Structure formats: C-alpha cells, structure tokens
A and B are shown apart, each in its own frame.
Chain A
C-alpha cells in the first residue's frame, strides 16, 4: 500500500482527518513515525512562540500610521504623471521648439540627403588624390549616405544654392544683423597674430590678389 502524501499528513496532524479514518496508519510504522514528527514540530513551534508575539508600545501604531501618511503624501507629490509634467509651459514650450527645429532641419536638408550623387571626379588632381598610396590598403567603402553627398564646395553642391538664394533676398547689413556677424575692435589683429608664418604668407598672397582685381561698383544695399 502507498504511503501517505504531504496533504494527508498535514490534514491528519491538524485534526482535519481523524487517524482512525486512515487505515494505512495502523499498518505502517514509517508513516506513524513521520506523523509523530510532524505533530511534534507543530507543537514545538506553537509552544515556543505562544505568548511571545511582539507587542510594541501602544504609541507605535499611531507613529506607524503617521509614517505611512507622510510617505504616501511624499510619493503622491513626487510621482505626478508624465503627462502632467509635460504639459507644464516651461517644459512644453522648449520641447515644442526643439521638435520644430528638428523638423525644419530635416526639411532643409532633405534636398541634400536625397540629391543624386555627383559625377565622378575626372581631374588629374582628383584622380591622384583618390588613388591609394603604394602599399596602403584599399579604403573601405563609404556608407551610402556619404556617397550621395557632393564634396563641399562642388559646383553641384545644393548648399551653395541655398546660400545664394539667401544672398539674393537679403542685403549685407540685413544679413549681418540676422546672423549676428560682427567682430569686436582689434579682433582681426588678434586673429592675424595667431596665424603661423605660412598662414600669414598665404593671407598676404590672397589680399594682394584681391587688391589687384579691378574695382567693381557696389550695387548691393
């Protein structure tokens, strides 16, 4: 005959089922021994803790209630919903402005990003620059996005068109005001002072070239 299972042991030990209702107990020494152990542990545990239930000071209960009340109030104050926080003006306005700026940026650059790739460079200099150095590893292929962008300053660069469009619609003074292009006095001296000898020579050459050009009557204002 099968031994008793844990359910039966617990039910018999707790008195839910009488010993006499389980005939197996009368014939099985092992189950009787195990049942006696279960009863002994229950009795021991109950005896050891009987009357030893912790009873704090009567004042403790009100203190506990007050602590809970404070914790709930603090939690309520600090866990406002994100919607509520987002709708506050000092959060909403900068967020909206940021999203608007991002949208404008994407719109303005969409033409650049979607522009067809420029024709391959054919000049000798470009070919020379593109050729790998002897013994050097072949350059890794560029990501598709970079390939679609023309080189900076290329004749087909749509960014230049954008600048030209702005230039046609704005006067110089107006543009300077728009982009806050101004320099403090003596700043040019400071910039020139920071140039290296080679850079100064190049600057001199550029200025000399510029001054050698015939004067053009100013027609922008």
Chain B
C-alpha cells in the first residue's frame, strides 16, 4: 500500500513544476500526465553520469539510464519517502549497473570520443597528461570489487556523503567508510605506488 504522507496541498491544483518530490510521486501514481516526465527531467543527468562511471561509454550509459527510469516507474509504489527520490534512484542505478558489469565487461570509451568540459586555464600538456591519467584511473576503478567500486564512484564523482551512500547501498556508515578505505588501497595497488607519492 502506498504510504507517503498525504500532501497538505492537493497536487491537482498546482502546476507540476511547483510540486516537491513526494507530491510529484503522488501525482505520478494518480496518473497525472507529465509527472513522471518531470521526475526524469530532474534526475536524468546524475543518473546518466553514475551509469557512465560504471560502464565507461555513452551507449551503455544511455541504455542503463533508460532501464533505471523504467524500473523506477514500475517500482514507484514502493517508494516510501524514507529517503530522497535522488537517493532511491541512485540505489536503483547502482543495482542496475552492478548487474550489468557482472555480465558484461565495461568497454571504456576512447578519450577522443568523449566531450569534455575543459578549463581554458590548464596548458595543453597538462590536459593531455590528465586525460591519459584519467584513462588509467577509470581502468583501475573498473577492476575494483562491486561494492568498493560503487562506494568510490558515489563518493568521488557523485559527491554523496557517507550517510547517503549508506542509504543507497543499504549498509552502515562504518561499512561505507571501510569500503571506501579499502577501495583506495586497492586502487593504489593497481595504479602503482611509485606514481602516487
């Protein structure tokens, strides 16, 4: 049974973009046209970026993002409002991504095929070095165990707090910090200690 608190304002009386998350979910479950579109619009970028961090290429990240939102739509009734909608979507995304990388080894995109948000301040040499190092780091992250990988991506690239990551992964804050610590240790081994110090 749907257990979100009944919104004080009837969602039908407000424009969709005036609704908060729980009201938007209620509107969506009530069948209000465009409500789920707005949820997708608000969360598509971070969901896509998270998927990209896992699979390392645009095509798979697009497919996974679509899958995440489709699963979210199917499971919207089970969203209890205990965490933010973003956290709930991240949880779905992490599960979808971990399932995917478990059956298909990520094909990391060539750096030239990607579009970067470059800063004009860094020199050409620095930019090339950073891109090369980025490729090595992504390849190293791809070798981490699933939970460590998810923790590292959520912390370093999605910039979630340890508490939020614990909600996404369904574990304790202590376990998240331990995973993060071990992920960093493994990353150091993979990348080679001599380059880091």
Chain A interface residues toward B at CB < 8 A: 6-7, 9-11, 36-38, 40-42, 44-57, 60-61, 64-65, 67-69, 71-72, 75
Quick one: which of A9, A45, A60, A72 has the most chain B CB within 10 A?
A45
Residues of A within 8 A of B184 (CB): 37-38, 41-42
Interface pair B197/A40, CB less than 8 Å apart? yes
**Minimum Cβ distance to chain B for residue A63 (Å):** 8
Quick one: which of B58, B130, B181, B191 has the most chain A CB within 10 A?
B181
B104 within 8 A of A: no
A77 to B129, CA, bound (A): 51
Interface pair A51/B73, CB less than 8 Å apart? no
Identify A72's interface contact among B41, B70, B131, B185, CB under 8 A.
Answer: B70
Count B interface residues, CB 8 Å. Answer: 51
Chain B interface residues toward A at CB < 8 A: 36-37, 40-41, 44-45, 48-49, 52, 58, 61-62, 65-66, 69-70, 73-74, 114-119, 130-131, 133-134, 136-138, 141, 152, 156-157, 162, 174, 177-178, 180-182, 184-185, 187-188, 191, 193, 195-197
Identify B156's interface contact among A7, A49, A67, A75, CB under 8 A.
Answer: A49
Interface pair B40/A65, CB less than 8 Å apart? yes
Interface pair A48/B130, CB less than 8 Å apart? yes
- A75/B74 contact (C-beta < 8 A), A37-B193, A53-B117, A67-B66 known: yes
A and B contact pairs by CB, cutoff 8 A, 14 listed: A10-B181, A37-B188, A41-B185, A42-B184, A45-B156, A47-B133, A48-B137, A50-B130, A51-B117, A52-B114, A55-B117, A57-B115, A72-B36, A75-B74
Interface pair A41/B66, CB less than 8 Å apart? no
